[in-house]
């Protein structure tokens, strides 16, 4: 079945570092991908919608300059957490629908655990 | 905009007992409903989905859910749970443009 690969799975870095997370659709093309953030024991919060070839759409309250999204191809979207600080520590998950209609389930990556020291 | 509410944050249950995890949705347009399971430090795995047609949907691992339009509910059920079903369960709703919104999650703990 369709698979979404997310890399890296764990990142530990110093405050002020920028971190890039990759999300790849392995056997299907994804014109749209979604980025979520999940705090411990909480639900997934949609951060932004990544659109191939155009600017991402950010949810209210999400800093676009802090969380840079690039969707340069039909199989790859990246999320860069710029100048990360401890409050950016979280579990980040990407997803992609296999198809363009809303009735398609999302395929999720395995997530990236980001810890900022 | 669509949204979902999961009524129980935690559900403890003994092994081989039945379980129901509750989910209510709100939307002014047609919706597509999903249940996902998340194991620790992993992404989400699709259990089942309702798109249209039969209101009783069967999924993986013996789970099923019933879409009830009049009550705007999509409760998840399993007649007999196993220890391995212990996980976080998320109800989700998607609109026509694929933006999926999740409920707060229900922690199912199966005790021996």
Q: What are the chain A neighbours of B100 within 8 Å (beta carbons)?
A: 34, 46, 95, 106
Contact: A97, B98; criterion CB under 8 Å: yes
Per-residue confidence at A62, pLDDT binned at 50, 70, 90?
Answer: very high
Q: What are the chain B neighbours of A43 within 8 Å (beta carbons)?
A: 90, 102-105
Q: What are the chain B neighbours of A3 within 8 Å (beta carbons)?
A: none
Per-residue confidence at A13, pLDDT binned at 50, 70, 90?
Answer: very high
pLDDT at A82: 96
Q: Can you list the alpha helix ranges (DSSP code H) found in A17-99?
A: none
Are the beta carbons of B93 and A103 closer than 8 angstroms? Answer: no
State the Cα–Cα distance between residues A20 and A11, nearest whole angstrom: 10
pLDDT tens across the length of chain B (112 residues): 778 999 999 999 999 999 999 999 987 677 789 999 998 878 889 999 998 888 999 999 999 999 999 999 999 999 999 999 999 999 998 877 667 889 999 999 999 9
Picking from B42, B99, B102, the nearest residue to A44 by CB comes out as B102
pLDDT at A88: 95
């Amino acid at each position: 079945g369709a698979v979404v690969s997310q890399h890296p799975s764990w990142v530990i870095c110093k405050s002020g570092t920028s971190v890039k997370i990759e999300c790849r659709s392995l056997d299907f093309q994804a014109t749209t991908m979604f980025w979520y953030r999940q705090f411990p024991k909480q639900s997934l919060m949609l951060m932004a919608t990544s659109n191939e070839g155009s600017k991402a759409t950010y949810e209210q309250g999400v800093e676009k300059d802090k969380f840079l999204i690039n969707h340069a191809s039909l199989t790859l979207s990246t999320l860069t957490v710029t100048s990360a600080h401890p409050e950016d520590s979280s579990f980040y998950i990407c997803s992609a629908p296999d198809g363009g209609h809303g009735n398609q389930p999302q395929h999720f990556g395995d997530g990236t655990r980001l810890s900022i020291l | 905009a669509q949204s979902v509410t999961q009524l129980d944050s935690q559900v403890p249950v003994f092994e081989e007992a039945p379980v129901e995890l509750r989910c209510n949705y709100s939307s002014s347009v047609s919706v597509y409903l999903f249940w996902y399971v998340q194991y620790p430090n992993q992404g989400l795995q699709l259990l089942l989905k309702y798109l249209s047609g039969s209101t009783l949907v069967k999924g993986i691992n013996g789970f099923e859910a019933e879409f009830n339009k009049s009550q705007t509910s999509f409760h998840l059920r399993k007649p007999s749970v196993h220890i391995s079903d212990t996980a976080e369960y998320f109800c989700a709703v998607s609109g026509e443009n694929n933006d999926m919104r999740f409920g707060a999650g229900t922690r199912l703990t199966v005790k021996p």
